Each structure stands twice: as C-alpha cells, then as structure tokens.
Amino acid sequence: MTTDTDSLACDAIVVGAGVIGCAIALELARGGRSVIVVDSKGGPGHGSTSASSAIIRFHYMHLTESALAWEAGHRYMQWERHLGAVDPAGMAQFIQTGGMVLEGGGYDLERMVSNLRTLGVDVRELSGPEIAEMYPGVDPGKYGPPALPDDDHFWADADGELVAFHVEACGQMDDPQLAANNLAYAASVNGAQFLFNRSVSDVIIEGARVAGVELSDGSRVVAPIVVNAAGPWSSQLNRMADVLSDFTMTTRPMEQEVISVPAPESFNLSNGTVITDPDVGTYFRPHQGGTIIVGGLEADCDPVVFLDKPEDAIESVSAETWNVQSLRLARRIPDLVIPGRPSGIVGVYDVTEDWIPIYDRTSLDGFYVAIGTSGHAFKQAPYVGVLMALLIDEVEAGRDHDNDPVVAVAPWTGVEVNVGHFSRLRDVLPQRGMG
C-alpha cells in the first residue's frame, strides 16, 4: 500500500487517510483516476477516526443528512459488497443493536421521525412504559434539562417519563480504524497509492488552479486535483491553499472525551441499544468487551473545549468528565456500578458552526474539501466517497456546482442527496451538536 518514491504525479491527491479520505480515494480510484493519499500518521484511520464511537444511525434534523446516512448505513451493513474486496488484515463488522432517541434538550423528535418516514425507515414511537418494557435496564424518567452534579437539580426525582423513538436498523461498526483500513485496502486494490508518515506542508498553486502538494521532506506530489480530507487539521490545509475567503463558516478542532464503564447485566451488547439522551446530555452504547461507552451532546451546562490544534488535546479522560458522564449514565441505567478509576478515550471533532459538514469545491479550481464532519460523519463516510467523486467529475466537466448543485440519487436506497446542502457558501444557522 505504501510508495516511497520522492517525486510523484497522479490525477488526484487526497490529504488524509481517515475514514473520509480513504472512502474518497476508493471512489476516485474506482472511477479510473490515479490517486495518491498522503497522511502524516502511520496508517489508515490513525487520526480522529480511531477514537470514533462508530455509531450508525439515521436521525437528523435535515432530511438530506438522514438520506446520506441511510445510504451510507446500507453500505456498512453490506460492507464486503460495498468494498468489493476482502482485507487480509480483517474486516470491520456492522453490529445491529437498534437505536433509541429520548426526548429533551430541544431535540425535535417529530421532525426527525418525519424525515425517517419520508425515507422509508421503520420507526417506532415509544411511551415511557414502552421504553421500560423494551429495555428493562433503562429508567425512562425525565431528569432534564442537563445539569452538573454540583447542581441540586441533578439529584432531583424524575419529573414524569420521557417519550422516545426507536429505529431497529441502527447499530455500530465494531472497529472504526479497521473500517478505514478496509477502505484503504479496497482503494489500493483499485490502484490508489498511500504515503504514510509524510506530512503536507504546502499546497502548490499555478495560476487559478491547484497543482499539487509539497511534503515536509521537501518532495512534491503533483496533480490537478487535491482533496482536503484532513479531519481536525482541515483548517491548516485550507490556509495553505488560501481558500477561506468565501467560506461562510469555519472548521475548528474540538476536544471530546468518551468514557467507558463496565456494562451491567441489564444493559450490555446482547440486550442494550444505542441511546441518544439529550434529557441528561449524553449518548451511549454497549461496547464489545462488556462495557458501555458514553459521550457528550454539548449540553449548555457543559464546557466546550476548542483547541488551537488537535495535538493540544489532553491525553486521557479527565476526572471531571468521568464524574459527570458516569453519574448521568447512572441516572439512566440504575444498575450501573461506577468504578473508582476513570477509563475512556479522548478524540477531536472538526466542528463547523452549524455542525453540518462541508463537502464541496472551493474558489481554487481543483481544490475540494470533505471537512467539518462535526463528530458525526463516520456513519456518512462510504457514501461521502461516492458523492465527492461525483462532485469532482461534474465540476471538472464544467458544472457550476455553486449555482447548480449536484443532486445524487443514491443507488442502494433510491434516496436523493443534494450535495449543495453541504456547501461552503450556505447560510449558517449556529446550532449545537447532535451526537
């Protein structure tokens, strides 16, 4: 998979071998382009993808994002069919656990359910007693709005019961880094080459067009197309290409802590589900190895940690986050036993103001972006690869995507995805994340 030559030329360079960059490389290579992927780390998915909770769900506030996730989810469910190859390193697996979204935190459940039904997704609406019947380990009590444990409200009795909706088809990929490796392997089977442990230090521009990249060892890779799939490093690359002047939003690295606790018998991989819990401000899911992992939903009371650069993230889960998130989970899963020692991982999101990714061309001809994935695009990746390849084909053939956006009909599910939804020029309505 790795090439060591110092001077290279190809049809398209992808910067970043995370799940997004590998998915794009696969589709560009399948489309007949010669592709070189450059990554400063040692292998596919070693960046923010490695920390992903890898939840595959389909509910979104915007129909377009639901549609994208629905098509991409089908590709994870039939992973080998999507890849067209079997990776000798092993294949990541889709684990169907179902997914439930509880009410609270301003989440518009009605709109999400309506989007899902428009796409033909099977959704079941649940009352509090139905939640408890379906998942006996889960307390459907209404404890929100989210609070911190030093607030008396945190410890108050439930004020009634929540409603929820449940989607049977949801689940998780068991190993996000391996999934990226699988995509990279399939891309290499189609001819893509990978340069690992090599950093892009500059973007080469000739006239109004990108012409390649310069690497930190002084060597160059030349190509008429460069795709920024640099994850939380995306803004650094955009600055190198000097393309930010017409963007209506920014991309910024945001630290994320995901804790891991032992799963009780009442809620584990055999009888639990993926739960989005805006009532207390968490999402959680049963994990392999008899644990539950718990992440945050950026509730108003929770600190938001933007970083100057991803490398500034803390190395291990903080005592504060451990305390807050484990106690929140204990409200929802009363059987939980909280160990004395914090455990979990720290990752970094690449966040836009409206938490919608940017999948687009830029003002520099030939320079494309698949960035700002805002903590929820692992699930989108397989179809983002297809959309980016289509976008590149159309724009390179002369289409004015900014004014006449590419609209794709997803081949596996028949849903429509307007790529213009992810434009760098869109009107931005600041909103918080949705986990």
Of residues 160-199, those binding ligand FAD (CB under 6 A)? 199
Given the complex with ligand FAD, which of 321 and 423 has the nearer CB atom?
321
Stretch 193-212: interaction string toward ligand FAD, x if CB under 6 A? ------xx------------
As measured in angstroms, the least distance from the Cβ of 209 to ligand FAD is 20
As measured in angstroms, the least distance from the Cβ of 70 to ligand FAD is 13
As measured in angstroms, the least distance from the Cβ of 66 to ligand FAD is 13
CB atoms within 10 A of CB 317: 18
Residues 267-296 as b or e (16 or more Cβ within 10 Å = b): bbbeebbbbbbbbbbbbbbbbeeebbbbbb
- Strand order, beta sheet including 164-167: 124-126, 164-167, 99-102, 274-277, 282-287, 291-296, 252-262, 344-351
If one asks whether residue 98 binds ligand FAD (CB under 6 A), the answer comes out as no
Stretch 319-348: interaction string toward ligand FAD, x if CB under 6 A? ----------------------------xx
As measured in angstroms, the least distance from the Cβ of 326 to ligand FAD is 16
Alpha-carbon separation of residue 215 from 15, 16, 198, 202, 230 (angstroms): 11, 13, 7, 7, 14
List, in order, residues 6 or more apart from 200 with CB less than 8 Å away.
Answer: 15, 38, 40, 213, 214, 215, 216, 230, 237, 240
Q: Which stretch binds ligand FAD (CB under 6 A): 9-17, 161-169, 360-368, 394-402?
A: 9-17
If one asks whether residue 238 binds ligand FAD (CB under 6 A), the answer comes out as no
Q: Which of 31, 34, 41, 335 binds ligand FAD (CB under 6 A)?
A: 41
Given the complex with ligand FAD, which of 260 and 413 has the nearer CB atom?
260
Given the complex with ligand FAD, which of 18 and 286 has the nearer CB atom?
18
Q: Which of 12, 27, 35, 49 binds ligand FAD (CB under 6 A)?
A: 49
If one asks whether residue 258 binds ligand FAD (CB under 6 A), the answer comes out as yes
Given the complex with ligand FAD, which of 95 and 158 has the nearer CB atom?
95
Of residues 365-394, those binding ligand FAD (CB under 6 A)? 373, 375-379
Nearest position to ligand FAD, beta carbon: 18
Determine the Cα–Cα distance for residues 119 and 194; give it in Å rounded to an integer. 37
If one asks whether residue 19 binds ligand FAD (CB under 6 A), the answer comes out as yes
Encoded tokens for 42: 């040692």
Q: Which of 70, 79, 233, 359 binds ligand FAD (CB under 6 A)?
A: 233
As measured in angstroms, the least distance from the Cβ of 161 to ligand FAD is 26
If one asks whether residue 294 binds ligand FAD (CB under 6 A), the answer comes out as no
As measured in angstroms, the least distance from the Cβ of 190 to ligand FAD is 18
Determine the Cα–Cα distance for residues 29 and 107; give it in Å rounded to an integer. 40
Determine the Cα–Cα distance for residues 73 and 111; give it in Å rounded to an integer. 20
Q: Which stretch binds ligand FAD (CB under 6 A): 102-110, 232-240, 386-394, 396-404?
A: 232-240
Encoded tokens for 223: 């190509």
Residue in 282, 285, 267, 293 with CA at minimum distance from that of residue 96 = 285
Q: Which stretch binds ligand FAD (CB under 6 A): 102-110, 138-146, 226-234, 263-271?
A: 226-234
Encoded tokens for 162: 């929540």
Q: Which of 83, 223, 230, 392 binds ligand FAD (CB under 6 A)?
A: 230
Write out the residues near ligand FAD by the rule CB under 6 A: 15-21, 38-41, 46-49, 51-55, 199-200, 229-233, 237, 256, 258, 295, 347-349, 373, 375-379
